[in-house]
Chains A and B, each alone.
Chain A
Amino acid sequence: QSALTQPASVSGSPGQSITISCTGTSTDIGVYDYVSWYQQHPGKAPKLMIYDVSNRPSGVSNRFSGSKSGNTASLTISGLQAEDEADYFCSSYTSTSTVLFGGGTKLTVL
């Protein structure tokens, strides 16, 4: 099974919005609404930001939102802040009862 496909890097200025894509196949993202997104700062464990495509856990800013179309999921961060600079990983459940992660996207706040 191959990793989900994410852009290696994205960047934006404070206050702007950015979107990170995550592309899978018809056996993972395309068939389940079980896409989650994780934020990881250097040297830290990943933190859940979005689950089930578009749901935010308690305590996560509403500047973070998620969506899905076909085999591609997306994470949008609006009103970029310096603290948003981190690596972001998508994840999906698969039809073989396994879990796939994306390769990760490094977000730089200019």
Chain B
Amino acid sequence: QVQLQESGPGLVKPSETLSLTCAVSGYSISSGYYWDWIRQPPGKGLEWIGSISHSGSTYYNPSLKSRVTISVDTSNNQFSLKLSSVTAADTAVYYCARRTTVTTEYFHYWGQGTLVTVSS
């Protein structure tokens, strides 16, 4: 069974960099699929942040592209998110997910989510 687990600081100061890691179990990241980050501000909808393929290709939401970096660590079977220059608007529950692609597109497996609050 594929499982994803987010980890990282729950509190980040304004202007600093938010860093999260998603540990994957039950499947080897290097074997395929796309690995995505999605966020949800409190009481609001989902926002796609970006993704990385098993081969390292990255795709980002144009509205966040200048501040986002997604990377993969195949040796530890995990991938990471860095979001720079954060503000209160970046406060959200951050989810990692596995996206099935190639003639289809959907998120079948999700992490439980981790709340990140941006505050001084």
Q: Hey, which bits of chain A sit against chain B, CB under 8 A?
A: 1, 3, 32, 34, 36, 38, 45-48, 51-52, 57, 89, 91, 93, 96-104
Say whether B66 faces chain A, with CB atoms less than 8 Å apart: no
CA distance A57 to B62 in the complex (A): 30
A36 touches B107 (CB 8 A): yes
CA distance A48 to B111 in the complex (A): 13
Instruction: Kindly list chain B residues whose C-beta atoms are within 8 Å of the C-beta of A93.
Output: 105
Known: A1-B62, A45-B112, A46-B110. A52 touches B104 (CB 8 A): yes
Most chain A CB atoms below 10 A, which of B44, B105, B110: B105
Q: Which residue of A lies closest to B51 (CB)?
A: A99
Known: A89-B45, A89-B46, A102-B45. A97 touches B59 (CB 8 A): yes
| Min distance, Cβ A43 to any Cβ of chain B, angstroms | 9
Instruction: Kindly list chain A residues whose C-beta atoms are within 8 Å of the C-beta of B36.
Output: 99
Interface size class of chain B, counting residues whose CB lies under 8 Å from the partner chain? 20 to 34
CA distance A100 to B62 in the complex (A): 11
Say whether B73 faces chain A, with CB atoms less than 8 Å apart: no
Q: Can you list 19 A-B contacts (CB < 8 A)?
A: A3-B45, A34-B105, A45-B110, A45-B111, A45-B113, A46-B46, A46-B107, A48-B107, A51-B108, A52-B106, A57-B108, A93-B105, A98-B48, A98-B59, A98-B61, A101-B45, A101-B46, A101-B48, A103-B45
A to B contact number (C-beta, < 8 Å): 66
| Min distance, Cβ B60 to any Cβ of chain A, angstroms | 8
CA distance A99 to B60 in the complex (A): 9
Contact with A along B91-116 (1 / 0, CB 8 A): 00001000110001111101111000
